[in-house]
Amino acid sequence: MSDRTLTFFGAAGRVTGSCTLVEWAGRRVLVDCGMVQGESDAEELNRRPPQVEPGALDALVLTHGHLDHAGRAPLLAPLGFAGPILGHAATLEIAELVWRDAVRLSGQKSDEPLYTEEEIGRARALMRPLGYGERIEIGDLAITLCDAGHILGSSHVLFEHQGRRLLFSGDVGVMNTPIIRDPTLAWDAPADAVVIESTYGDRRHRGREETLEEFATIVEEAVRRRGMVLIPAFAIGRTQEMLFQLRALMESGRIPEIPVLLDSPMGERATDIYRRHGECYDPETREMIRDGRLPLTFPALRRIASADQSRAIRDQRPPAIVVAGAGMCTGGRILHHLRNFLGRDSTTVVFVGFQGQGTLGRRLIDGEKKITIHGEPVEVHARIATLNGFSAHADQPALLEWARRIPGPPGKWLVNHGEPLAAEGLRQALQQAGLPGAAVVEEGKAYGF
């Protein structure tokens, strides 16, 4: 085995649970430490001790703050990890928000949380925020973060040692996503190996303008039918984009100004983090703010704070739009609204993000007509719509374009973070695009580079 190895302890054969060990230059660095979500064995997998000895780690790098990339990080310090935890400043703020929300949700369900507030505090004390382009050295191993354009603070991670380079894509964002900048496409040197995500590695998204038009039509139809539009949205990333797009559609007159109910306390806190990190904004958003137009605020927006206010939405006079978490309908306030409104044929549920296998969101998209929410049977009469053009993940053509921009080609492409068909689809596409040497990674397997 090479003295340069990668071992995948998560997001191999699945989209969630990202966790990869880099062993190089006498150092051991973990890239991400995320939770598995949506699968029947998720609880068991998340409670297992880490498959790497935490006390032997020199650092943890978080590509971004989503639960499936950062959710298990507080487990490490009690087992001997002494840090640092590296990430963009916005990523580390978002990660702490995600951790505290995980503890809160466990308490609501009377489950034993994966970690405690004290353990979150220990993880927080190990954080070392980095800016994009800032180089840090762990021993002789250099690490640099570059903007991945997925959510606020999301990063590609570049490792360098003695002229060799290893690049992690993290989650690759979509070009022209509102608020944040586009993924990095300018690289000044080849990479010896690239780890590339494949969430949508076997498909193409609809164009954003086409998606916006479809979304506007859905809202117009809901207004005509005097129905509710429910948008399950990830609190971090999707919620902020949906607010941005709804504001733009109403400001332009494309859709009427009907009530938009943001029923996501975590989404509101994440939006505050977005407001604090203007250094991550794209030029268009900066110009909006200079003109006095705040991108995440508009007259029709109503923020729902208390549980009583959330429950009162069942009596809301339609038409109205409800944006609530969780994005895959695995918990959160969206479940109450689905229970109250799925039985009405005037309701439309709009999915704007990836739905993992086994999640309620995936089951609704797949056409299930009888489901159970909070122990109660619910018949589905609502319209179910999917708008992948709002996805925060690059599709196959965009992933290929990202890959082509890396000088080289690299000696090795390692495809992770995708369900089997998506990962294999991207592997074949890389091969056909003249980027050979790609392999779909296997969990627990070490790869030299």
- Count of domains in the chain? 2
Do 234 and 268 lie in one domain? The reply is yes
Do 414 and 443 lie in one domain? The reply is yes
Report the CATH number that the domain containing residue 231 is assigned in CATH.
3.40.50.10890
Q: Residue 136: pLDDT band by 50, 70, 90 thresholds?
A: very high
Do 221 and 298 lie in one domain? The reply is yes
Do 212 and 198 lie in one domain? The reply is no
Do 250 and 124 lie in one domain? The reply is no
Q: Which of 350, 365, 390 is the last residue of a domain?
A: 390
User: What confidence score (pLDDT) does residue 109 get?
Assistant: 62
Do 139 and 19 lie in one domain? The reply is yes
> How many angstroms separate the CA atoms of 167 and 145, rounded?
10
Do 247 and 314 lie in one domain? The reply is yes
Instruction: For residue range 82-123, list pLDDT tens digits in order.
Output: 989 999 999 999 999 999 998 987 766 657 899 999 999 999
Q: Which comes out higher in pLDDT, residue 427 or 354?
A: 427
Range of the domain at 63: 5-203+392-448
Do 182 and 226 lie in one domain? The reply is no
Instruction: For residue 193, give Cα distances in angstroms to 29, 202, 406, 409, 413.
Output: 16, 21, 11, 9, 6
Q: Which of 390, 413, 438 is the last residue of a domain?
A: 390
Report the CATH number that the domain containing residue 157 is assigned in CATH.
3.60.15.10
Do 183 and 299 lie in one domain? The reply is no
Q: What letters, b where the CB count within 10 A reaches 16 and e where it falls short, cover 369-392?
A: eebebeeeebebebbbbbbbbbbb
E strand map for 176-305 = 193-197, 228-232, 260-263, 301-303
Do 297 and 404 lie in one domain? The reply is no
Do 346 and 400 lie in one domain? The reply is no
Contact (Cβ atoms closer than 8 angstroms) between residue 4 and residue 33: no
Q: Which of 355, 371, 390 is the last residue of a domain?
A: 390
Contact (Cβ atoms closer than 8 angstroms) between residue 38 and residue 15: no
Instruction: For residue range 287-344, list pLDDT tens digits in order.
Output: 999 998 888 999 999 999 999 999 999 999 999 999 999 899 988 899 999 999 999 9
Instruction: For residue range 147-157, list pLDDT tens digits in order.
Output: 999 999 999 99
Do 66 and 129 lie in one domain? The reply is yes
